[in-house]
Structure 1
Amino acid sequence: MKNTYSPKEFGQLIGRSVITLQTWDRKGILHAYRSPTNRRYYTHEQYLQYRGLVAEEQGFTVVYARVSGVAQKPDLVTQINALATYCKEHSITVDEWMSDIGSGLNYKRKHFNRLMEMVELGQVRRIVIAHRDRLVRFGYDYFEALCERHHTELVIINGNNLSSEQELVRDLITIMTVFSARLHWLRSYKKAIRDAAVHKNQD
């Protein structure tokens, strides 16, 4: 089941043309939502309402924000304010606000882990984030699929990567440090194997 529909898809569902939907939107009969790129879309709740069915709200709506370091606390406030504005404009009622200060490469963030546990337990209906890398730096598709399996909608208010250059550099250094350590370990491991082979041949 899809959570959102393009005007064409929604029109096919309810047996109306896109032109009719545009007219209804202008007249306030059935308002369309707008994406950050100003594209119109409709929700499954609107479909249920149009059909006279009850759209039962199940699970929490959680807003999640993150910055990489303590020095970015002012950016965290700005991010949260932007999320609050978006939720207000789109009539989204927020049940819980979560935020972390930590690298997007760190999957041991306190509130991030709690949020993923709630998703796995089927407690979260919707997660609102500023952009993809606020959730994770890499592996976003995996977490998106996880949310989809547990019927959790991921709402991204800005699809662009808005990380600061400083944060990107810090994460790249972290990656390089990890791989350097692994390469060093592999070299030591190979040396140990060679030494063991030499001793065995001598015996």
Structure 2
Amino acid sequence: MSKIYRINEFAKRIGKSASTLRRWDTEGRLIAKRTLTGQRYYDESDVRKILGIKDIDRKTIVYCRVSSSNQKDDLKSQITAMEQFCLNCGIAVDEWIQEIGGGMNFKRKKFLFLMSRIATGEVKILIVAHKDRLCRFGFDFFEHMANENGCKIKVVNQESLSPHQEMVEDLMAIIHTFSCRLYGLRKYKKNIKKIIQEIE
């Protein structure tokens, strides 16, 4: 379901003032939708209209990912399977994105660029083989964000079928993250202790 904006929220979204939107409504340039009580509101179709993004230009994208370069054969198999799925379902794909990077790394360049494009309403459908191809954790959040911007995420297989080694690597990443935090806390405590000793 597309996100609904109150007039002030919509004004901030497109970089205009609420008074400008009221004037546009009166002039017929951008007529606001109204609730039963007469309150103005807007949705993502209005965002696309103002930003010049036509529905016909919105893309269907397939995103494929593996964790490491030694999984390139797995990436090829994933792409082949997705091509077959899209052909069987009659889905016209505008763009294919391939990426190598851990599922817990939210700083992947292509992933971040994809999220930015979804946020601006450029993507209509995003297709992934499994939820964990997009991200190992937090899929529900990214799906919600996509839905709010008029993008549907199609998961071909709801089960997680990641290779065993990749799962191990992600678990190791979790352990490493928390280990670094613990180390940081210990260092922080030592610094505080040192400062107190210097004061005394």
The answer to whether the Cα contact below 8 Å between 1:58 and 1:125 also exists between their aligned partners in 2 is no
Q: Percent identity?
A: 42
RMSD: 1.5
The residue aligned with 1:152 is 151
Cα offsets for 1:76-135 (capped at 9, x unmatched): 111111111111111110000001011011122222122111101110000000000000
CA distance in 2, matches of 1:180, 1:198: 27
CA drift of 1:194 comes to 1.9
**Which residue of structure 2 aligns with residue 164 of structure 1?**
163
Aligned to 2:103: 104
**TM-score, with structure 1 as normaliser:** 0.69
Q: Which has the higher contact order (CA 8 A, sep 6+)?
A: 2
SS of alignment partner, residue 137 of structure 2 = coil
**CA offsets per residue over residues 178-202 of structure 1, 9 Å max, x none?**
21111011011112112222332x2
1:28-177 equivalences under 5 Å are 57=56, 59-177=58-176
Instruction: Say how many residue pairs are matched.
Output: 148
Partner of 1:187: 186
Amino acid at match of 1:154: I
The answer for unaligned runs of 5 or more in structure 1 is 3-55
- Shift of residue 57 of structure 1? 4.5
Deviation, 1:61, is 0.1
Aligned partners of 1:127 and 1:152 also within 8 Å: yes
In the other structure, the counterpart of 1:13 is none
Kept in 2: contact 1:126–1:154 (CA 8 A): yes
Flag structure 2 segments of 5+ consecutive residues without an equivalent.
3-54
Q: Encode CA deviations 1:11-54: one digit per residue, 9 max, x unaligned.
A: xxxxxxxxxxxxxxxxxxxxxxxxxxxxxxxxxxxxxxxxxxxx
Distance across 2 between alignment mates of 1:122 and 1:196: 52
TM-score, normalization: structure 2? 0.70
> How far did residue 73 of structure 1 move?
0.5
| 3-state secondary structure, aligned to 2:176 | helix
Find the aligned partners of 1:105 and 1:194 in 2 and give their Cα distance.
35
Q: Secondary structure at the match of 2:184?
A: helix
C-alpha separation in 1, matches of 2:107 and 2:196: 40
How far apart are the structure 2 equivalents of 1:114 and 1:164? 26
Tell me how far 1:173 sits from its aligned partner: 0.9
Distance in 1 between the 2:163 and 2:85 partners?
Answer: 21
